[in-house]
Protein backbone atom coordinates (compact mmCIF):
# COMPACT_ATOMS: atom_id res chain seq x y z
CA UNK A 1 0.00 0.00 0.00
CA UNK A 2 1.51 3.38 -0.99
CA UNK A 3 2.45 5.85 1.72
CA UNK A 4 -0.03 8.66 1.06
CA UNK A 5 1.69 11.16 3.32
CA UNK A 6 5.05 10.73 1.60
CA UNK A 7 3.42 11.04 -1.82
CA UNK A 8 1.56 14.19 -0.83
CA UNK A 9 4.64 15.79 0.71
CA UNK A 10 6.64 14.92 -2.39
CA UNK A 11 4.16 16.86 -4.54
CA UNK A 12 4.23 19.77 -2.11
CA UNK A 13 8.02 19.79 -2.00
CA UNK A 14 8.23 19.76 -5.79
CA UNK A 15 6.11 22.94 -5.96
CA UNK A 16 8.12 24.93 -3.39
CA UNK A 17 11.15 26.14 -5.45
CA UNK A 18 8.92 27.92 -7.98
CA UNK A 19 6.57 29.13 -5.24
CA UNK A 20 9.40 30.80 -3.32
CA UNK A 21 9.80 33.22 -6.19
CA UNK A 22 6.34 34.64 -5.37
CA UNK A 23 7.49 36.51 -2.26
CA UNK A 24 8.24 39.86 -3.97
CA UNK A 25 4.76 39.81 -5.50
CA UNK A 26 3.10 39.13 -2.13
CA UNK A 27 5.16 41.88 -0.48
CA UNK A 28 4.08 44.37 -3.16
CA UNK A 29 0.45 43.30 -2.95
CA UNK A 30 0.53 43.58 0.84
CA UNK A 31 1.85 47.14 0.72
CA UNK A 32 -0.71 48.16 -1.91
CA UNK A 33 -3.55 46.52 0.01
CA UNK A 34 -2.51 48.15 3.29
CA UNK A 35 -2.55 51.55 1.63
CA UNK A 36 -5.96 51.03 0.09
CA UNK A 37 -7.64 49.50 3.14
CA UNK A 38 -6.32 52.02 5.67
CA UNK A 39 -7.53 54.80 3.34
CA UNK A 40 -11.09 53.45 3.53
CA UNK A 41 -11.03 51.10 0.56
CA UNK A 42 -12.23 47.54 0.41
CA UNK A 43 -11.06 44.07 -0.55
CA UNK A 44 -13.55 41.80 -2.29
CA UNK A 45 -12.72 38.10 -2.56
CA UNK A 46 -14.42 35.07 -4.07
CA UNK A 47 -13.87 31.43 -4.89
CA UNK A 48 -15.72 28.17 -5.40
CA UNK A 49 -15.62 25.12 -3.13
CA UNK A 50 -12.34 24.80 -1.25
CA UNK A 51 -11.18 28.10 -2.73
CA UNK A 52 -14.25 29.77 -1.22
CA UNK A 53 -13.16 28.53 2.21
CA UNK A 54 -9.64 29.84 1.59
CA UNK A 55 -10.95 33.24 0.53
CA UNK A 56 -13.16 33.48 3.60
CA UNK A 57 -10.17 32.59 5.79
CA UNK A 58 -8.37 35.61 4.33
CA UNK A 59 -11.21 38.03 5.05
CA UNK A 60 -11.44 36.75 8.63
CA UNK A 61 -7.76 37.56 9.17
CA UNK A 62 -8.17 41.09 7.81
CA UNK A 63 -11.40 42.03 9.56
CA UNK A 64 -10.08 40.42 12.75
CA UNK A 65 -6.33 40.18 13.09
CA UNK A 66 -3.42 37.94 12.21
CA UNK A 67 -1.02 38.83 15.04
CA UNK A 68 -1.18 42.06 17.04
CA UNK A 69 -4.32 44.08 17.60
CA UNK A 70 -4.93 46.77 14.99
CA UNK A 71 -7.73 48.61 13.26
CA UNK A 72 -10.18 46.32 11.43
CA UNK A 73 -9.90 46.29 7.64
CA UNK A 74 -12.80 46.05 5.21
CA UNK A 75 -12.80 42.68 3.41
CA UNK A 76 -15.87 40.87 2.08
CA UNK A 77 -16.14 37.26 0.89
CA UNK A 78 -18.75 37.45 -1.86
CA UNK A 79 -19.58 33.74 -1.77
CA UNK A 80 -20.56 34.08 1.92
CA UNK A 81 -23.47 36.41 1.02
CA UNK A 82 -25.80 33.46 0.64
CA UNK A 83 -29.07 35.33 0.12
CA UNK A 84 -27.51 37.57 -2.53
CA UNK A 85 -25.71 34.60 -4.06
CA UNK A 86 -28.84 32.49 -4.45
CA UNK A 87 -31.05 35.40 -5.57
CA UNK A 88 -28.56 36.43 -8.26
CA UNK A 89 -28.05 32.83 -9.35
CA UNK A 90 -31.79 32.32 -9.61
CA UNK A 91 -32.47 35.56 -11.49
CA UNK A 92 -29.35 36.02 -13.62
CA UNK A 93 -27.58 32.66 -13.74
CA UNK A 94 -24.66 31.24 -11.77
CA UNK A 95 -22.00 32.98 -13.85
CA UNK A 96 -23.25 36.32 -12.49
CA UNK A 97 -23.25 35.48 -8.74
CA UNK A 98 -19.98 37.33 -8.10
CA UNK A 99 -19.96 39.86 -10.94
CA UNK A 100 -23.17 41.55 -9.83
CA UNK A 101 -21.85 41.86 -6.27
CA UNK A 102 -18.62 43.35 -7.59
CA UNK A 103 -20.65 46.00 -9.39
CA UNK A 104 -22.62 46.67 -6.21
CA UNK A 105 -19.78 46.83 -3.68
CA UNK A 106 -16.63 47.67 -5.64
CA UNK A 107 -15.31 51.19 -6.04
CA UNK A 108 -12.44 52.43 -8.23
CA UNK A 109 -9.05 51.35 -6.84
CA UNK A 110 -10.59 48.76 -4.50
CA UNK A 111 -9.04 45.31 -4.81
CA UNK A 112 -10.73 42.16 -6.13
CA UNK A 113 -8.93 38.88 -5.35
CA UNK A 114 -10.22 35.72 -7.03
CA UNK A 115 -9.11 32.21 -6.05
CA UNK A 116 -9.24 29.19 -8.35
CA UNK A 117 -7.16 26.04 -8.74
CA UNK A 118 -8.20 25.61 -12.39
CA UNK A 119 -8.33 29.26 -13.40
CA UNK A 120 -11.31 28.49 -15.60
CA UNK A 121 -14.45 29.09 -13.50
CA UNK A 122 -17.02 31.09 -15.45
CA UNK A 123 -18.32 33.02 -12.44
CA UNK A 124 -14.81 34.16 -11.51
CA UNK A 125 -14.03 35.20 -15.08
CA UNK A 126 -17.23 37.25 -15.13
CA UNK A 127 -16.24 38.82 -11.78
CA UNK A 128 -12.82 39.76 -13.18
CA UNK A 129 -14.42 41.45 -16.18
CA UNK A 130 -16.85 43.32 -13.93
CA UNK A 131 -14.01 44.38 -11.65
CA UNK A 132 -11.89 45.77 -14.46
CA UNK A 133 -14.88 47.63 -15.91
CA UNK A 134 -15.55 49.19 -12.48
CA UNK A 135 -11.93 50.28 -12.02
CA UNK A 136 -10.88 47.73 -9.39
CA UNK A 137 -7.42 46.19 -9.19
CA UNK A 138 -7.96 42.55 -10.08
CA UNK A 139 -5.66 39.90 -8.65
CA UNK A 140 -5.87 36.11 -8.69
CA UNK A 141 -4.51 33.08 -6.89
CA UNK A 142 -4.55 30.24 -9.42
CA UNK A 143 -3.01 26.93 -10.36
CA UNK A 144 -0.51 26.59 -13.19
CA UNK A 145 -0.40 29.43 -15.72
CA UNK A 146 -1.29 30.32 -18.36
CA UNK A 147 -4.97 30.04 -17.56
CA UNK A 148 -8.03 32.19 -18.37
CA UNK A 149 -8.37 33.77 -14.91
CA UNK A 150 -4.72 34.79 -14.73
CA UNK A 151 -5.10 36.38 -18.15
CA UNK A 152 -8.32 38.18 -17.10
CA UNK A 153 -6.74 39.82 -14.03
CA UNK A 154 -4.11 42.53 -13.78
CA UNK A 155 -1.79 40.18 -11.89
CA UNK A 156 -1.83 36.59 -10.69
CA UNK A 157 0.05 34.35 -8.29
CA UNK A 158 0.11 31.00 -10.07
CA UNK A 159 1.12 27.89 -8.12
CA UNK A 160 2.96 25.58 -10.49
CA UNK A 161 1.62 22.20 -9.41
CA UNK A 162 -0.69 19.74 -11.18
CA UNK A 163 -2.10 18.70 -7.79
CA UNK A 164 -5.11 20.87 -6.83
CA UNK A 165 -4.60 20.04 -3.15
CA UNK A 166 -1.07 21.41 -3.24
CA UNK A 167 -2.34 24.49 -5.06
CA UNK A 168 -4.91 25.16 -2.35
CA UNK A 169 -2.39 24.56 0.43
CA UNK A 170 -0.02 27.12 -1.06
CA UNK A 171 -2.92 29.52 -1.58
CA UNK A 172 -3.44 29.34 2.19
CA UNK A 173 0.25 30.08 2.77
CA UNK A 174 -0.12 33.00 0.35
CA UNK A 175 -3.11 34.35 2.30
CA UNK A 176 -1.17 34.28 5.56
CA UNK A 177 1.86 35.94 3.96
CA UNK A 178 -0.33 38.57 2.31
CA UNK A 179 -1.83 39.41 5.73
CA UNK A 180 1.68 39.54 7.22
CA UNK A 181 2.75 42.06 4.61
CA UNK A 182 -0.45 44.09 5.05
CA UNK A 183 0.13 44.40 8.79
CA UNK A 184 3.82 45.17 8.28
CA UNK A 185 2.98 47.98 5.84
CA UNK A 186 0.17 49.56 7.85
CA UNK A 187 0.81 53.12 9.10
CA UNK A 188 2.01 53.18 12.69
CA UNK A 189 -0.09 54.77 15.39
CA UNK A 190 -3.45 53.59 14.12
CA UNK A 191 -5.34 52.74 17.31
CA UNK A 192 -7.08 49.42 17.61
CA UNK A 193 -10.76 49.44 18.53
CA UNK A 194 -11.44 48.01 21.98
CA UNK A 195 -15.04 46.82 22.52
CA UNK A 196 -16.69 49.10 25.04
CA UNK A 197 -20.08 49.07 26.67
CA UNK A 198 -21.57 52.02 28.54
CA UNK A 199 -23.82 50.93 31.35
CA UNK A 200 -27.06 52.95 31.25
CA UNK A 201 -28.00 55.31 34.07
CA UNK A 202 -30.20 53.63 36.70
CA UNK A 203 -32.25 55.00 39.61
CA UNK A 204 -30.28 55.40 42.83
CA UNK A 205 -30.74 52.65 45.40
CA UNK A 206 -32.48 53.22 48.72
CA UNK A 207 -30.38 55.34 51.03
CA UNK A 208 -28.84 57.47 48.28
CA UNK A 209 -28.24 61.10 49.24
CA UNK A 210 -31.03 62.55 47.09
CA UNK A 211 -34.34 60.99 46.12
CA UNK A 212 -34.70 60.52 42.40
CA UNK A 213 -30.97 60.83 41.76
CA UNK A 214 -29.52 58.64 39.05
CA UNK A 215 -26.19 56.90 38.82
CA UNK A 216 -24.08 58.32 36.00
CA UNK A 217 -23.32 56.01 33.09
CA UNK A 218 -20.23 53.92 33.83
CA UNK A 219 -17.93 52.97 31.01
CA UNK A 220 -17.25 49.26 31.06
CA UNK A 221 -14.48 47.50 29.16
CA UNK A 222 -15.26 43.95 28.09
CA UNK A 223 -12.77 41.55 29.59
CA UNK A 224 -11.29 39.77 26.59
CA UNK A 225 -10.37 36.72 28.63
CA UNK A 226 -13.73 35.90 30.17
CA UNK A 227 -16.17 38.28 28.52
CA UNK A 228 -17.07 39.83 31.89
CA UNK A 229 -17.85 43.58 32.18
CA UNK A 230 -15.26 45.37 34.26
CA UNK A 231 -15.66 48.99 35.31
CA UNK A 232 -13.05 51.23 33.67
List, as one string, the DSSP characters of the chain: ---HHHHHHHHHHHHHHHHGGGHHHHHHHHHHHHHHHHTT--EEEEESTHHHHHHHHHHHHHHS-SSS------EEEGGG-HHHHHHHHHHH-GGGTTHHHHHHH--TT-EEEEE-SSS--HHHHHHHHHHHHTT-EEEEEESSSS-HHHHHSSEEEE---S-HHHHHHHHHHHHHHHHHHHHHHSPTTPPPPPPEEEEPPEEPPTT-SSTT-EEPPEEEEE-TTT--EEE-
If you average pLDDT over residues 131-135, what whole number do you get? 98
Answer whether the bond into residue 146 is a cis peptide, omega within 30°. Answer: yes
pTM as predicted: 0.80
Closest CA to 45 of 143, 136, 148, 159: 136
Q: Quick one: pLDDT at residue 69?
A: 85
Model confidence at 197: pLDDT above 60: no
Model confidence at 82: pLDDT above 90: yes
Q: Quick one: pLDDT at residue 188?
A: 67
Q: Quick one: pLDDT at residue 67?
A: 86
If you average pLDDT over residues 87-98, what whole number do you get? 97
As a whole number of angstroms, the distance between CA 74 and CA 202 comes to 37
Average pLDDT, the chain: 86
Model confidence at 221: pLDDT above 90: no
Q: CB–CB of 70/100 below 8 Å? A: no
Q: Quick one: pLDDT at residue 226?
A: 44
- Give tens-digit pLDDT for 174-183: 999 999 999 9
If you average pLDDT over residues 50-66, what whole number do you get? 95
If you average pLDDT over residues 27-38, what whole number do you get? 96
Three-state secondary structure of 143-188:
CCCCCHHHHHCCEEEECCCCCHHHHHHHHHHHHHHHHHHHHHHCCC
- For 4-185, give the CATH class: alpha beta
Sorting pLDDT into bands at 50, 70 and 90, what band is 68? Answer: confident
Q: Quick one: pLDDT at residue 1?
A: 58
Q: Where in the chain are all domains bearing CATH 3.40.50.10490?
A: 4-185
If you average pLDDT over residues 16-39, what whole number do you get? 96
Model confidence at 12: pLDDT above 90: yes
Q: How far is CA 4 from the centre of its chain?
A: 32
Please compute Rg for the chain using Cα positions: 23
Amino acid sequence: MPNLLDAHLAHLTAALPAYQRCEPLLARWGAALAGRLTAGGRLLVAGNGGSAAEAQHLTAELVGKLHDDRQPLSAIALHAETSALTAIGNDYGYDEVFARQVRAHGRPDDVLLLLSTSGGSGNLLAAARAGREAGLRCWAFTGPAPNPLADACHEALAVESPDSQVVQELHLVSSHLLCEYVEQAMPQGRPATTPRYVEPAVPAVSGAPAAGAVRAGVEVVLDGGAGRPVEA
